[in-house]
């Protein structure tokens, strides 16, 4: 390397530091401007003024940069100042891990979500007292502590079965109480949040309502844990913002549920975005669960998907279980019966010698299944 | 071809006709079964019974088909009977073209949607009286008869500008009245449908609420035209079913709005699904418009997209126009200013010597634009 | 606004200009460094050195910016210098409109692509002399000047019909010569480029080979026009880069063909990305055509899609036409027969009183169709 | 249930069985027809004849089915016969599990793919002898037995680094030999298959060439194992068909590599389709590995993705490792350095007390890493 290059580099080094110096003085100045503005209640950010400043700088541009590059660089510099403010805002973004550090552990009666993996299981829809008793007893004997069941069902067709409504809420609650299980059910309408809250332990926001911001705000006003499903084609960022709607209302008990996204692949109903699990766990302090049934839309790959979800760091799984899937009034293809579910649990544990499910989470598998046949 | 092959074919022909004969007798029989069931209020479709019948047939299967093929063929035969019923249902599906024939023409005050192409324009959000007067006057002089503006804005962040709410409804209505324009605004919450209906001529359901079935039902109960946007990743079928929710409530005045779908492409905010336009026009009697602003998310291709939408058969276009886009509180990148909008209209007409817009739809372009500068 | 704010702003203004001044001096210096490096054949961009400089600046950072922000701002500044170089490169990017201004008009024998809209039509695959004569005569009477037909067919299954190969090339060429049509056929293998070039006027690169860079380079070495199809899920940027592969080999005769992208929607085989048409026309000087048959995968919406494509600025359309689609050996669902194609042309022209197709492009429609029946 | 319903059902039962009887006789007859045809070399499937038969049946249709339903039912019946043949074909479809039962175990020198999980690691591109020695020594000490490195790089831009070509093949081979590792490198051009086969143990087909059927056929003619990556937006079915191209050429040593698919999500470079792992394992006897680096496009979630892939049943992982990622000539963001890779291995094992990697697969982790610093 000859001297000339060395000289040029030394000069470059000096200029870099002069620029740094000016940038920092500029940032200081902006902080002062903002303080004045805040005191005098003047809008902090005025796009026209930014435009004027950029126009002015472009006019003064001697080259060799194009005017567009000058605008771009200064827009970045302006943004850095704005982000000085935003940074504080993001640090206080309520769903972010940074503002909490530790994982959120959500208490639901005697049970918890956010520590060892949990299983939430139950039928797509509450259909009858017999169905609920059958499935509640079976699941509880298998060690499941969270019972799901739809009372209000979002269906593509207005003529399909829309759920039994309020009577279903009562059936679900009674079944949960009889078997010592916490209950999860979906709420779809801001006007129904009060009613559902009365009967149910965890309020579910379905994938189709993830962008229903008024509903998110409404469940944010309750003191019930909220199981928030990712929208059918929501980005991870949008998903976190949806959670922020709930949390910003004062309710920090949000469970994030990855349930697959819509893609071109047709072998599965949705494409389980397994990467979302570690990304969400890293970005947020909230627990993350995976709904394997809705992701797959088929029964034969639920166990590997469940194992993958737990291996990726999920705090739990959601699975559709129906005593007689063939006669279910919705989603009959993807619901497990109790035998299949017991096998599913076995296949989950098989791979995990640490046996996170075994002793307390799940009763021995052989016995209860036999009783189901009795 | 030798005789043997001819003989075999003759026999095949005979068997085909015997099968046809039996299939038709079977269908007749099913119709009778259904009639009895309906009279006695017995569930029409009982999955267990179907399963039993399939099991029985598989047991009797002498080959050479596999049992699965036998099940498959009979499931198709069973379904054909079910679809005999469904066919009648679909013929009476209220959004379908078959049940109406002619196009739906929706009257909104003195204006109409569903005949010649219309333009719906206005700012993303209602921000101030000055902004609305500026844009209302400008658009009206350019011949636009439908004014849009958001009072309640669905935003990804709970901390972003969420719209001015009720005051915005009043500003929108007053501006519309002053300039003889019909007004369009979004409603997001079932509880706000009454309020929004009082002030506004057309109720918009946004893309994020297309699956909000309670909201769809609620606007279906009003007598206001509904502008229904396709969900961000909704299929065309789901879109039609969403419209069916509104129409099944008794409100046939639904305008279908294609606004782009979410794909991997990043040059545009969404991918305008131009094929949806002829498919929706064919499938349904409802008018179809295209929101070019949300599809593109950029300003430089709005005119070719607008021309394409009309060439594909759209009944109109929706465009975001703001007097000063650079200072807009949302979507500042994709809103046209009034000069740009005037040029956009010119570029639409340029290609269409039949001048569908020219005489009454749009005032001469040069004059009003000059006045805007005054 | 009080004096204090005015003072602060004046100072901000001064600092902005000092920063601008330094940035421009810095850019000048970088240009000198690069000149030295180029002369002495030293690598222009050395990531380690950039990292060292960023580390050094972060160490010197006095605040209030975070170290990350300092790194970010300087990375942008460094990049601006790099992009000074790249800008020159992009200006000379050979597919870009900026490096040419005017549209590329490609001469193919007596015909041209790149001015008024053209139609490229013909069967999916060349199957027999009779088929080709039938379709060639029919199309030519309808005024079509570009005949397509596959000799090598990319098929998902290795056991499906893979095209007739070399004999098909000869059939295609002969048919084209008899009816005064230029011919288009796909080449899939670098080793076949020579052979296909001998027989055919335009080399087609199929969607599945858009990323086959060796093949792109190979056709870039020929002097035959190349019809390049967009990959099944290629971004517009990747598509332009693929064209750059061909053009950088010295062959500027590239026709860009939008043919729909893969999305979740199932009503169409692919989702026609209509926005790609104006974006490609703006970004590049190359002609853009739209393959409506592969986009739609169905016949009933081809005319509205064709109209939309032309309205969006496409230089032409590609359509699959087969004399007897029902017995076609591939793509039988989406190929038009000659009557349907004549109607398609009529429906294109109907909406375009400027009659771009009518006088020379298309012969009167009624007569030849009748003859086809004779 | 009254008698009338019972009677109707009894009759239905009888008709069902008569139809079954006829269907089976028909299938028998078709088998005979096919036998004759095969003997006399007459085309087995003639679409026109099928159309004629359907037209004939539709003409004879007495109702109540629509003609379309009759056509549909008989097309299903015809297809069932065709699928009787296809079934045999599928049973002999060479990639399917059914035709093999047991897993394919591929021998590569002293190593194997298809039993316990393996790791394939190495840099994106072969850049220099020093780089390869550094990474080869480091990986080998960590127990890795498969070394990857690109000699021919498919790059979006024709002006980006395209790989060192033949010299890189030699560097890769020499490094592998020195450290007892099998080597993997990509081949992009049919003309290069011979050359690459001479130097390398496993031929990689990249995602962009999955549809390059001539290339697939060409590697199918070699006796080298083929690592086949799923196309960027290929369906699982298309992926299996691509493998069938290779296997049908006589080469059964194909490793299927899931590497993420293109979706709307931007937090990851691609969306890892974890469901593909169990689906491919179930459908095919071929080993399945997961390329976590290309799926994620970021380094911070590789360990959870690796664990998930193995938990879902993958036979191995592929990871990009570069001695100095910051200066890599491609993919610098997603390559791990050797320390990060050692930690990655540790995080894989951590969760798996069965320690599938530990004893033989991986040397103790602490030591070699320290040596790398020495």
Complex-level ipTM: 0.78
Cβ contacts from C onto D, under 8 A: 88
B75 in reach of chain D (CB within 8 A) = no
Is the CB of A326 less than 8 angstroms away from the CB of B47? yes
Give residue C76's pLDDT. 80
Is the CB of A304 less than 8 angstroms away from the CB of D264? no
What is the third-level CATH fold of A3-97?
A: Chorismate Mutase Domain, subunit A (1.20.59)
Q: Please list every residue in chain B whose beta carbon sits closer than 8 Å to the beta carbon of residue D1.
A: 42
Closest CB to C15 among A16, A22, A262: A22
Give residue C94's pLDDT. 86
Distance from CA of D308 to the nearest CA of A (A): 4
Give residue A49's pLDDT. 76
- Residue C292: closest C-alpha in chain B: B275
DSSP string, A121-169: EE-SB---HHHHHHHHHHHHHTT--EEE-BSS---SSTTS-----HHHH
Beta strands, E only, chain A:
106-108, 111-113, 118-122, 146-148, 182-186, 202-205, 226-229, 254-258, 288-291, 316-320
Is the CB of D308 less than 8 angstroms away from the CB of A274? yes
Is the CB of D22 less than 8 angstroms away from the CB of B26? no
Mean pLDDT taken over chain D? 86
How far apart are alpha carbons B252 and B94 in whole angstroms? 8
Q: Residues 18 to 57 of D: which have CB under 8 A from any A CB?
A: none
Q: Please list every residue in chain C whose beta carbon sits closer than 8 Å to the beta carbon of residue A37.
A: 5
How far apart are alpha carbons A31 and C255 in whole angstroms? 54
Residue C226, token pair as written in the block: 């190349």
- For the packed helices C338-350 and C366-373, what is the interaxial angle rounded to 10 degrees? 170
Chains in contact with B, where contact requires at least 3 CB pairs less than 8 Å apart? A, C, D
Give residue A43's pLDDT. 66
pLDDT at position D1 over 50: no
A332 in reach of chain B (CB within 8 A) = yes
- Residue B236: closest C-alpha in chain A: A156
D15 in reach of chain B (CB within 8 A) = yes
More confident residue, D332 or C175: C175
B66 in reach of chain D (CB within 8 A) = yes
C130 in reach of chain D (CB within 8 A) = no
Q: Residues 217 to 246 of B: which have CB under 8 A from any D CB?
A: 233
pLDDT in 10s for each residue of chain A, 374 residues: 455 888 888 898 899 999 999 998 998 888 888 778 777 767 666 666 777 888 889 888 887 887 877 887 888 888 777 666 554 444 457 898 876 778 999 999 999 999 989 999 999 999 999 999 999 999 999 999 999 999 999 988 887 788 999 999 999 999 999 999 999 999 999 999 999 999 999 999 999 999 999 999 999 999 999 999 999 999 999 999 999 999 999 999 999 999 999 999 999 999 999 999 999 999 999 999 999 999 999 999 999 999 999 999 999 999 999 998 867 777 767 899 999 999 999 999 744 433 334 323 332 222 222 222 22
D339 in reach of chain C (CB within 8 A) = no
Is the CB of D72 less than 8 angstroms away from the CB of B80? yes
Is the CB of D271 less than 8 angstroms away from the CB of A261? yes
Mean pLDDT taken over chain C? 86
Give residue A58's pLDDT. 87
- Residue C40: closest C-alpha in chain A: A1
Is the CB of A8 less than 8 angstroms away from the CB of C33? yes
Is the CB of C30 less than 8 angstroms away from the CB of A12? yes
How far apart are alpha carbons D224 and D243 in whole angstroms? 14
Q: Is B89 exposed, middle or buried (CB count within 10 Å of its CB: 0-12, 13-18, 19+)?
A: exposed
Q: Please list every residue in chain C whose beta carbon sits closer than 8 Å to the beta carbon of residue B268.
A: 275, 279
How far apart are alpha carbons A161 and B45 in whole angstroms? 13
Q: Please give the C-alpha separations between residue C113 and each of B322, C239, C344, C352, in angstroms, as whole numbers.
A: 40, 19, 21, 20
Percent of chain D at pLDDT > 70 equals: 86
What lies within 8 Å, CB to CB, of D174 at 6+ separation is: D132
How far apart are alpha carbons D281 and A359 in whole angstroms? 31
DSSP assigned state of C299: S
Q: Mutation test of the interface with chain A: which of D234, D267, D275, D334, choosing the one with the most A Cβ atoms within 10 A?
A: D275
Is the CB of B65 less than 8 angstroms away from the CB of D23? yes
How far apart are alpha carbons A69 and C27 in whole angstroms? 11
Is the CB of C80 less than 8 angstroms away from the CB of A61? no
**How does pLDDT run across C110-169, given as a tens digit for each residue?**
999 999 899 999 999 999 999 999 999 999 999 999 999 999 999 888 877 889 999 999
How far apart are alpha carbons C360 and D104 in whole angstroms? 62
DSSP element (H, E) containing C248: helix C236-248
DSSP assigned state of C206: P
- For the packed helices D3-40 and B67-91, what is the interaxial angle rounded to 10 degrees? 120
Peptide bond into D64 cis (omega under 30): yes
How far apart are alpha carbons B330 and B163 in whole angstroms? 10
Q: Please list every residue in chain A whose beta carbon sits closer than 8 Å to the beta carbon of residue C30.
A: 12
B195 in reach of chain A (CB within 8 A) = no
Pairs from C246-249 (Cβ < 8 Å, separation ≥ 24): C246/C216, C246/C217, C246/C219, C246/C220, C247/C94, C247/C95, C247/C220, C248/C94, C248/C220, C248/D158, C248/D159, C249/C216, C249/C217, C249/C219, C249/C220, C249/C221
**How does pLDDT run across D55-80, given as a tens digit for each residue?**
888 888 888 887 877 887 888 888 77
- Residue A292: closest C-alpha in chain D: D275
pLDDT at position D132 over 50: yes
Distance from CA of C211 to the nearest CA of D (A): 5
Give residue A81's pLDDT. 73
Domain ranges of chain B: 3-97, 104-373
How far apart are alpha carbons D330 and B115 in whole angstroms? 56
Q: Please list every residue in chain A whose beta carbon sits closer than 8 Å to the beta carbon of residue D271.
A: 261, 263, 271, 273, 275
Chains in contact with A, where contact requires at least 3 CB pairs less than 8 Å apart? B, C, D
Is the CB of C241 less than 8 angstroms away from the CB of D190? no
Pairing of strands B202-205, B182-186: parallel
Distance from CA of A45 to the nearest CA of B (A): 10
- Residue C301: closest C-alpha in chain B: B278
Cβ contacts from B onto C, under 8 A: 112
Q: Residue A171: CA atoms inside 13 Å, Cβ hemisphere, count?
A: 24
Tell me the three state secondary structure of residue B121. Answer: strand
Stretches in chain B below the pLDDT threshold 70: 1-3, 41, 43-48, 82-92, 99, 326, 332, 350-374
Is the CB of A267 less than 8 angstroms away from the CB of D309? no
How far apart are alpha carbons B254 and D371 in whole angstroms? 71
- For chain B, the first-to-last Cα distance in angstroms comes to 88
Give residue D80's pLDDT. 77
Q: Please give the C-alpha separations between residue C143 and each of C362, D65, D240, in angstroms, as whole numbers.
A: 4, 43, 43
Residue C358, token pair as written in the block: 């009518």
Q: Please list every residue in chain B whose beta carbon sits closer than 8 Å to the beta carbon of residue A154.
A: 211, 213
Q: Residues 250 to 269 of A: which have CB under 8 A from any B CB?
A: 262
Does the domain at C104-373 match CATH 3.20.20.70? Answer given as: yes
How far apart are alpha carbons A124 and C311 in whole angstroms? 48
DSSP string, A218-245: HHHTSSS-EEEEPPTT--HHHHHHHHHH
Is the CB of D16 less than 8 angstroms away from the CB of B69? no
What lies within 8 Å, CB to CB, of B14 at 6+ separation is: none
More confident residue, B153 or C358: B153
pLDDT at position C24 over 70: yes
Closest CB to D29 among B8, B18, B21: B8
Is the CB of C158 less than 8 angstroms away from the CB of D241? yes
pLDDT at position D366 over 60: no
C161 in reach of chain A (CB within 8 A) = no
**Residue pair B83/B69 in contact by the 8 Å Cβ criterion:** no
Closest CB to C154 among D158, D213, D332: D213
D85 in reach of chain C (CB within 8 A) = no
Is the CB of C235 less than 8 angstroms away from the CB of B305? no
pLDDT at position C288 over 80: yes
Select D106-373's CATH number: 3.40.640.10, 3.40.50.300, 3.20.20.70, 1.20.140.70. 3.20.20.70
DSSP assigned state of C104: P
**How does pLDDT run across B186-207, given as a tens digit for each residue?**
999 999 999 999 999 999 999 9
φ, ψ dihedrals at A66, nearest 5°: -75, 160
What is the third-level CATH fold of A102-373?
A: TIM Barrel (3.20.20)
The candidate with the shortest Cα–Cα distance to A272, out of D297, D276, D237, is D276
What is the pLDDT averaged over residues D327-354? 78
The pLDDT confidence band at residue C43, using thresholds 50, 70 and 90, is low
Is the CB of A4 less than 8 angstroms away from the CB of C264? no
DSSP string, A94-124: TTBGGGT-SPP-EEETTEEESSS-EEEEE-S
How far apart are alpha carbons B250 and A167 in whole angstroms? 27
Distance from CA of A307 to the nearest CA of B (A): 29
Closest CB to C245 among D47, D158, D233: D158
How far apart are alpha carbons B119 and B289 in whole angstroms? 9
């Amino acid at each position: 390397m000859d001297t000339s290059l060395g000289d040029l580099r030394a000069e470059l080094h000096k200029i870099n530091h002069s620029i740094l110096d000016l940038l920092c003085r500029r940032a200081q100045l902006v902080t002062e401007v903002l303080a004045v503005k805040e005191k005098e209640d003047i809008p902090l950010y005025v796009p026209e003024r930014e435009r004027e400043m950029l126009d002015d700088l472009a006019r003064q541009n001697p080259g060799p940069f194009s005017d567009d590059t000058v605008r771009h660089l200064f827009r970045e510099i302006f943004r850095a100042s704005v982000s000085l403010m935003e940074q504080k805002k993001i640090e206080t973004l309520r769903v972010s891990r940074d503002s909490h550090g530790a994982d959120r552990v959500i208490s639901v009666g005697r049970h918890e979500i956010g520590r060892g993996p949990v299983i939430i299981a139950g039928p797509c829809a509450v259909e009858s007292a017999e169905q609920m008793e059958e499935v509640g007893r079976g699941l509880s004997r298998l060690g499941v502590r969270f019972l799901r069941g739809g009372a209000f069902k979002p269906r593509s067709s207005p003529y399909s079965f829309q759920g039994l409504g309020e009577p279903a809420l009562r059936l679900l609650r009674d079944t949960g109480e009889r078997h010592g299980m916490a209950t999860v059910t979906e709420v779809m309408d801001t006007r129904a949040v009060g009613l559902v809250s009365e009967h149910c332990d965890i309020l579910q926001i379905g994938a189709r309502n993830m962008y229903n911001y008024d509903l998110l705000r409404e469940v944010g006003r309750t003191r019930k844990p909220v199981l928030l499903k990712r929208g059918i084609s929501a980005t991870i960022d949008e998903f976190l913002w949806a959670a922020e709607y709930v949390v910003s209302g004062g309710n920090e008990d949000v469970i994030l549920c990855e349930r697959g996204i819509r893609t071109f692949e047709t072998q599965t109903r949705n494409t389980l975005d397994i990467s979302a699990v570690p990304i969400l766990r890293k970005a947020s302090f909230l627990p993350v669960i995976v709904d394997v049934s809705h992701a797959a839309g088929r029964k034969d790959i639920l166990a590997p998907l469940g194992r993958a979800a737990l291996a990726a760091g999920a705090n739990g799984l959601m699975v559709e279980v129906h005593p007689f899937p063939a006669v279910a009034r919705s989603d009959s293809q993807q619901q497990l019966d109790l035998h299949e579910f017991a096998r599913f649990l076995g296949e989950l544990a098989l791979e995990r010698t640490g046996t996170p499910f075994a002793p307390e989470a799940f009763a021995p598998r052989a016995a209860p299944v036999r009783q189901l046949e009795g």
